[in-house]
Amino acid sequence: MKPKSILILTALLIGLLIATTTHAAAPSGVVTLNLSPAVEAPNQAVKLWVPYPMSDAFQTITDVRVTGNFDASQVLRDPGSGAVYLYATWDKAGKKPSASLSFHVSQTDRRNTQLTEVDAPFPVPVNKYRESTTWVPAADVEMQGIAAKAVKGKEGTLEKAKAVYDWVVENTYRDPKVKGCGLGIPSRTLNECGGGGKCADLSTVFVTLARAAGIPARDVYGLRLSSPKEGDITSAFHCWAEFYLPGTGWVMVDPADVRKMMLVHNVKLKDADEWRRFFWGGDDLFRVVLQKDARGAALEGASAPLNYFMYPAAEVDGKMLNYFDSKAFHYNVTFAADAGK
């Protein structure tokens, strides 16, 4: 690339980042999930599971409201995956089933510019996020081999996590043909798909390789917009990742968004440093966390565990609806910003 072209591209990237952060002041408002699981005949039994958001260091969830014509509902937590969810049932849906979950969310800036590492063991509750599972196969020989090469010569959690992040950015790509956020199966992403996928696929690769390198890591599922907007945000479902850094705590990374921005703005890997820095360590985009970890979610009444739990899920007479297809499922998500925001 000629020097003049490099300067122009660099200026474009910086401009895009400035524009993004300028419009991404932490918003607050009401998120509403409207759900009407599709039934094909009267008197079918319907089960519905909806992610139930919780407050954390960066978001405050208040004024949670649940309405609908269901026969029963309750909020439950799956102890294995940590998934928290609304569970609603219709014994015999004689009329069109409907349910709504709304909540107010306020946020703080998620950027962490002071990543401090101390020489200390990981806290006991954090060690579970180093484990290999069916859903995060960190003990797999292939994953162990990739992780070892990625972190070779690196010392400490921070250096190793950054090396894994860089490896994922450099060895995967966003495939716009993938449905929804992807299946989130790391071996499939790296082998059958040649590194291609969407956010659930790429984030899970990071989490799996980080664990394979001995770093606590977990998937995060929620909603993400480059800037808040009024109205329908059903397409905003997004997955990213976190790793645990002694001395700092949980640190957000989003290699999938690096690859998305490269695709959207036609940026080559060698020219993507601005995006790599932007999505490392947290950002100030509009993000609502719906679930953390939530892998292999064993939901009450479900016929089988879910690989990951982010989308609303429903079964009609024991058959799982396609949650990637919000129109066929019959659900939408909306956002209404607070006045003056």
In sequence order, what are the residues at sequence separation of 6 or more whose Cβ sits closer than 8 angstroms to the Cβ of residue 339?
Answer: none
Are 318 and 250 in the same domain? no
Phi, psi (rounded to 5 degrees) for 67: -135, 165
Report if residue 287 sits inside a domain.
yes
Q: How many angstroms separate the CA atoms of 17 and 21, rounded?
A: 6
Are 193 and 259 in the same domain? yes
Are 64 and 183 in the same domain? no
Report if residue 18 sits inside a domain.
no
Report if residue 22 sits inside a domain.
no
Are 226 and 307 in the same domain? no
> Which pair of tokens denotes residue 101?
């979950």
In three-state form (DSSP H/G/I as H, E/B as E, the rest C), the secondary structure along 192-204 is CCCCEECHHHHHH
- Determine the pLDDT at residue 43: 83
Q: Is pLDDT of 8 > 50?
A: no
Q: What is the pLDDT of residues 267-309, one digit of tens each?
A: 999 999 999 999 999 998 999 999 999 999 999 999 999 999 9
Are 270 and 324 in the same domain? no
Report if residue 3 sits inside a domain.
no
- Determine the pLDDT at residue 26: 63
Q: What is the pLDDT of residues 201-256, one digit of tens each?
A: 999 999 999 999 999 999 999 999 877 678 999 999 999 999 999 999 999 999 99
Report if residue 117 sits inside a domain.
no
Are 56 and 129 in the same domain? no
Are 262 and 310 in the same domain? no
Question: Terminal CA-to-CA distance of the chain, rounded, Å?
Answer: 42
Q: What is the pLDDT of residues 136-160, one digit of tens each?
A: 999 999 999 999 999 999 999 999 9
Token pair 């979610």 is found at: 297
Q: At what angle do helices 199-212 and 141-150 cross, to 10 degrees?
A: 80
Under 8 Å between Cβ of 198 and 174: yes
Report if residue 5 sits inside a domain.
no
- Determine the pLDDT at residue 10: 36
Report if residue 182 sits inside a domain.
yes
Q: Is the dihedral of CA 314, 290, 282, 151 positive or negative?
A: negative
Q: Is pLDDT of 14 > 60?
A: no
DSSP lists the bridge partners of residue 101 as: 33, 66
State the average pLDDT for the chain.
91
Are 223 and 263 in the same domain? yes
Structural domains counted in the chain: 2
In sequence order, what are the residues at sequence separation of 6 or more whose Cβ sits closer than 8 angstroms to the Cβ of residue 133?
Answer: 295, 296
Q: Calculate ∠ Cα 85-88-94, nearest 5°.
A: 160
Q: What CATH number does residue 324 fall under?
A: 2.60.40
Report if residue 164 sits inside a domain.
yes
Q: Is pLDDT of 135 > 70?
A: yes
Are 62 and 157 in the same domain? no
Q: Is pLDDT of 110 > 70?
A: yes
Q: What is the pLDDT of residues 18-64, one digit of tens each?
A: 334 333 446 799 999 999 999 988 889 999 999 999 999 999 999 99
Q: Is pLDDT of 11 > 70?
A: no
- Determine the pLDDT at residue 78: 98
- Determine the pLDDT at residue 24: 44
Are 62 and 147 in the same domain? no
DSSP lists the bridge partners of residue 108 as: none
Are 146 and 252 in the same domain? yes
Under 8 Å between Cβ of 183 and 201: yes
- Determine the pLDDT at residue 340: 72
- Determine the pLDDT at residue 341: 57
In sequence order, what are the residues at sequence separation of 6 or more whose Cβ sits closer than 8 angstroms to the Cβ of residue 113?
Answer: 281
- Determine the pLDDT at residue 114: 87
Are 144 and 269 in the same domain? yes
Q: Is pLDDT of 314 > 60?
A: yes
Which domain range does residue 98 map to?
28-108+295-337
Q: What CATH number does residue 214 fall under?
A: 3.10.620.30
* Average pLDDT for 61-89: 97
Token pair 């003056």 is found at: 340
